[in-house]
Amino acid sequence: MFELIGIPPQALFGQLLLGLINGSFYAMLSLGLAIIFGLLNIINFTHGAQYMLGAFVAWMLLNYLGISYWWALFLVPVIVGATGIVIERLLISRLYHLDHLYGLLLTFGIALIMQGVLRNNYGISGLPYSIPPQLAGGQNLGFMFLPNYRGWVVVASLFVCLGTWFVIEKTRLGAYLRAATENPTLVGAFGINVPLMITLTYGFGVALAGFAGVLAAPIYSVNPNMGAELIIVVFAVVVIGGMGSILGAILTGFGLGLVEGLTRVFYPEGSAVVIFVIMAIVLMIKPAGLFGRTA
């Protein structure tokens, strides 16, 4: 067995894989946050809870209705996205004329309510959700063992992130979105229904969180706090990447997942804080974030 700078490759690649998995979730969640912030100017603090809701809805579909993981991958984003649309129409849309802070407080409050309700009904010990049989087992790659499901998570996340990037940067629909992010008044004066775009964009961002929740269900246990723990790191990722940059959110998400994994190999004590240390440094050197546009 060979060694790299004194580290057994199994450990190194194992941690890199773990980093890539975490990075997949960082990327999907920070992407949704970046899209929502870009158009709505609201920092969606409900995002973690909506990710958690995605995992719970997948669990409910399986245990109450016998609907499989594969259907859940499709149905959960639709269901969670629809709840997002209701929240935007009934609550968030009333705050657009106020300071950002109110949107932040509102979405934070909604997150606490969602977590509280689910904690009350399902406890905090976590509900099991098993890996779909098609993705059980794993591959021995020689230098490491790759569980199939974890490989699938990375691929699915990459696919969804790049698909979203493509739609936003390369299509007509995306051009509307980018234009409305810059100057919603003028886009409205061209005859485009900007309020509807805002609602659908929020729904889409939330659907991404729901999708990430389904992917997460078999890896992390399904529990009401799963989003609250993750979202703090995701906010740091968004700050590092720069609010409002689509590709920036994706690259920073995967990149910081890897950095975290490497830290766990070389200096395990620092792995829990490395992202926040990077955030502090980036804020000092480039406050708009690595990929952020300065206004």
Query: Which residues lie near other proteins (CB under 8 A)?
Result: 172, 175-176, 178-179, 181-183, 185-194
Select 96 or 143, whichever has its Cβ closest to other proteins.
Answer: 96
Q: Which residues pair with 140 in a beta bridge?
A: 145
Least CB distance to other proteins at residue 196 (A): 9
Question: At its nearest, how many Å lie between other proteins and the CB of residue 193?
Answer: 6
Question: Residue 160 corresponds to which amino acid?
Answer: V
Give the nearest distance from C-beta 169 to other proteins in angstroms. Answer: 9
Q: Which amino acid is at 149?
A: Y
Distance CA 287, CA 100 (A): 18
Q: Which residue lies nearer to other proteins by CB, 130 or 183?
A: 183
The C-alpha atoms of residue 245 and residue 231 are separated, in whole angstroms, by 18
Distance CA 106, CA 168 (A): 27
Indicate the residue among 102 and 176 with the shorter CB distance to other proteins.
Answer: 176
Decide: 49 and 115 in contact? Cβ < 8 Å.
yes
Q: Note the helical H segments in the chain.
A: 9-40, 47-65, 69-90, 100-122, 148-170, 172-182, 184-189, 194-216, 226-241, 246-266, 274-285
- Give the nearer residue to other proteins in terms of CB position, either 134 or 193: 193
- Rounded distance between C-alpha atoms, residue 289 and residue 237, angstroms: 10
108-84-94 Cα angle (round to 5): 65
10 vs 171 by CB, closer to other proteins: 171
Q: Which is nearer to other proteins, 134 or 171 (CB)?
A: 171
